């Protein structure tokens, strides 16, 4: 049976009279990479701060490895590693020197553990160079190495891909997959890069206006919004009017193409309607639904009320 590492239960957070989080609950098990997504201002960073004990909880509870973050903070946080946006690094020191400084904060982190973490994040060839010579991706990997020194079983990352180029993002993605699959680590990651999250997260939790609207496997979340199809016609000017019944499912791409999120058995009716209105239908093809498509559909287009 999978071990439950992180559990947030019915979290509420008020700032004055404004309720920021409303009954937020989520679970992260060993080996999970849970993508935590939502529009700006939805409550992602606030939730992460409550999990880490950086802000007080108005109501509800957070348990990490069975320990309550409010009642037993030291034990709850003992096996947590985290980076919020960019890691804090000493640029004039080498990567190894940065790790040794952090290692001094823990009782049982020796040189062999430092070497083990360096190998894990694949910085062996550059670890003795000054951090000022590192790429952003290498600095992010070094930051994760710092977070891993004390052998946590929960890693929490808030917008870790900010500022990274495609190579840096790939390096981070490969590292996180390794940590989840080989180290059996539980990972909670908040990011706006939905296309990237889709490639390595096994689960996603969507938050909007301080409320979790869905938590599910990535495949199930995408399948729940239906199939997206691209339809080619001779003119798309009147498509919304002609297919008014489906107007909420239509997106005009250009003068000759539009997309619809409909099931296979709805296609004949759509084609018949178009032909009856004297439109020429040149083709219908299925397009893969992305996590971004599903996210926009479920959040109503990234709007904060």
The predicted-structure confidence for 63-94, as pLDDT tens digits, reads as follows 999 999 999 999 999 999 998 767 889 999 99
CA 190 to chain centre: 4
The span from the CA of 66 to the CA of 7, in Å, is 8
Helix (H) or strand (E) holding 107: none
For the chain, which domains are there?
A: 4-217 (3.40.50.300), 226-288 (3.30.70.1150)
Smallest CA-to-CA distance from 98 within 136, 142, 140 is with 142
Q: What is the pLDDT along the chain (305 residues), one digit of tens a residue?
A: 679 999 999 999 998 888 999 999 999 999 999 999 988 888 999 999 999 999 999 999 999 999 999 999 999 999 999 987 678 899 999 999 999 999 998 888 999 999 999 998 889 999 999 999 998 888 988 998 999 999 999 999 988 877 778 888 888 889 899 999 988 999 999 988 888 888 889 999 999 999 999 999 988 888 877 778 999 999 999 999 999 988 888 889 999 999 988 888 889 999 999 999 999 999 999 888 888 888 888 887 654 43
Q: 138: left (phi > 0), else alpha (psi -120 to 50), else beta?
A: alpha
Angle at CA of residue 171, ends 166 and 174, nearest 5°: 120
- Quote the distance between the C-alpha of residue 242 and its chain's center: 38
Q: Mark out the alpha helices in the chain (DSSP H runs).
A: 44-51, 73-77, 95-103, 111-120, 136-148, 166-182, 194-200, 218-223, 239-242, 267-276, 291-299
**Could you tell me which of 288, 263, 287, 260 has the C-alpha nearest to residue 274?**
260
Contact, 190 vs 34, CB < 8 A? no
Tokens for 278, please give them.
Answer: 């004297």
**Per 3-state DSSP, what percentage of the chain is helix, strand, and coil (rounded to 5)?**
35, 30, 35
Cβ–Cβ < 8 Å for 70, 61: yes
CB neighbour burial string for 84-109, b if at least 16 within 10 angstroms, e if fewer: beebebeeeebbbebbeebbeeeeeb
Q: How far apart are CA 167 and CA 145, in angstroms?
A: 18
Closest CA to 112 of 128, 99, 126: 99
Tell me the pTM.
Answer: 0.83
């Amino acid at each position: 049976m999978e071990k439950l590492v992180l559990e947030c239960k019915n979290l509420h957070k008020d700032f004055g009279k404004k309720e920021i989080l409303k009954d937020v609950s989520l679970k992260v098990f060993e080996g999970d990479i849970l993508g935590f997504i939502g529009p700006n201002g939805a409550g992602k960073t606030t939730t992460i701060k409550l999990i880490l004990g950086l802000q007080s909880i108005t109501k509800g509870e957070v348990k990490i490895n069975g320990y309550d973050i409010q009642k037993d903070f030291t034990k709850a946080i003992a096996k947590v590693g985290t980076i919020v946006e960019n890691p804090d690094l000493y640029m004039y020191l080498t990567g190894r020197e940065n790790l040794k400084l952090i290692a001094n904060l823990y009782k049982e982190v020796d040189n062999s553990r430092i070497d083990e973490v360096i190998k894990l994040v694949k910085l062996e060839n550059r670890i003795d160079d000054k951090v000022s010579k590192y790429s952003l991706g290498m600095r992010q990997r070094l930051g994760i190495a710092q977070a891993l020194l004390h052998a946590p079983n929960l890693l929490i990352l808030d917008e870790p891909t900010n500022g990274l180029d495609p190579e840096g993002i790939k390096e981070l993605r490969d590292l996180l997959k390794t940590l989840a699959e080989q180290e059996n680590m539980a990972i909670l990651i908040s990011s706006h890069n939905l296309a990237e999250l889709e490639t390595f997260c096994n689960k996603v939790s969507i938050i909007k206006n301080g409320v979790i609207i869905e938590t599910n496997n990535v495949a199930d979340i995408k399948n729940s919004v239906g199939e997206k199809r691209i339809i080619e016609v001779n003119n798309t000017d009147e498509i919304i009017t002609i297919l008014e019944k489906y107007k909420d499912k239509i997106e005009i791409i250009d003068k000759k193409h539009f997309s619809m999120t409909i099931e296979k058995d709805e296609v004949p009716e759509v084609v018949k309607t178009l032909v009856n209105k004297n439109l020429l239908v040149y083709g219908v093809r299925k397009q893969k639904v992305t996590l971004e498509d599903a996210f926009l559909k479920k959040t109503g287009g990234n709007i904060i009320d």
